[in-house]
Amino acid sequence: MNPATELASLAALLADQTRAAICLALLDGRAWTAGELAAHAGVAPSTATEHLHRLISGGLLVERRQGRHRYVQLAGPAVAQLIEDLAAHTGPTRTPVRGLREATAGAALRRGRTCYDHLAGRLGVALTDAMTAAGLLDQTGGFALTPAGLTWLTDELGLDPAELRQSRRPLARGCLDWTERRQHLAGIAGAELCRRLLDNRWVARVGSGRAVRITPSGKSELGRLLELPDID
């Protein structure tokens, strides 16, 4: 198969609203069942299963088995980056909002969400800006964690330096935010920062989707560590 055919095949996988909705849902970094994804996409379970088979065969998703249960998730960080980058290059939505519930959910995602394994939305961008202003991130020649930033992550947040160095993924990289149209912190540093903030309950999930919010203790602690603006 030549590159043009492979690219067309990949594009065809996402050229369906149900499959696109499934991939966007899985950007929360967690594993979902076919039934959960069917309910999320508003299709029958059998229809969702057909779409999942295509996405798995195309290499965008992987299947995990745990006992009698079967789960699917994105195949890895590279797939998550692809989905988020494509979403960032779409224009602002012109679809009318259908009711208060949909408007509230959309506002929550814009305020803060997980982008696979790191933080996005206004919260993710604000954290990135605050770290840059504090000299912990350097965005002048790309996207890099400074020596002070590495010390901050290990000393202030208690991250293991070995965990930050053992992956083939970049330590820090910029990820274009599809709602803010600006970059937020991704890479190993972004993933470990997100994990620690969730573990500390400084950031908490909102419902069962991707949306997250900063908690009162998170406002206090992150306000102590960084000059973080009010996200609400």
Amino acid at residue number 130:
A
Digit-coded pLDDT (tens) for 189-208: 999 999 999 999 999 998 76
Task: Give SS3 for 141.
Answer: coil
Strands 69-74 and 137-138: unpaired
41 CB-near residues (< 8 Å, 6+ apart): 18, 21, 22, 25, 48, 51
Domain ranges of the chain: 3-75, 100-225
Alpha-helix runs per DSSP H in the chain: 3-14, 17-25, 34-41, 45-57, 77-88, 100-111, 121-133, 147-151, 161-165, 187-199, 216-225
Measured in whole angstroms, how far is the alpha carbon of residue 32 from the centre of its chain?
15
Q: Which among 196, 101, 113 is positioned nearest to 154, based on CA atoms?
A: 196
* Tokens of residue 14, six digits: 């996402």
Of 14-23, 75-84, 138-147, 223-232, the poorest mean pLDDT is in: 223-232
Expressed in angstroms, the distance from the first to the final Cα of the chain is 49
Predicted local confidence at residue 95, as pLDDT: 47
Rg (CA), the chain: 18
Under a CB-based contact definition with an 8 Å cutoff, are residues 180 and 122 in contact? yes
Q: Name the residue with higher pLDDT: 81 or 225.
A: 225
Of 4-13, 88-97, 179-188, the poorest mean pLDDT is in: 88-97
Residue 100 has pLDDT above 70, yes or no: no
| Distance separating alpha carbons of residues 224 and 227, to the nearest angstrom | 7
**CA pseudo-torsion sign 56, 185, 172, 82:** positive
Digit-coded pLDDT (tens) for 165-174: 766 778 898 8
Q: Based on the number of CB atoms within 10 Å of its own CB, is 71 exposed (0-12), middle (13-18) or buried (19 or more)?
A: middle
Predicted local confidence at residue 76, as pLDDT: 86
* Tokens of residue 217, six digits: 């203790």
Residue 60 has pLDDT above 50, yes or no: yes
Under a CB-based contact definition with an 8 Å cutoff, are residues 136 and 144 in contact? no
Q: Tell me the percentage of the chain whose pLDDT exceeds 90.
A: 46
CATH T-level fold of 3-75: Arc Repressor Mutant, subunit A (1.10.10)
Q: What is the mean pLDDT of residues 175-180?
A: 82
Q: Name the residue with higher pLDDT: 97 or 63.
A: 63
Residue 232 has pLDDT above 80, yes or no: no
Helix (H) or strand (E) segment spanning residue 119: strand 118-120
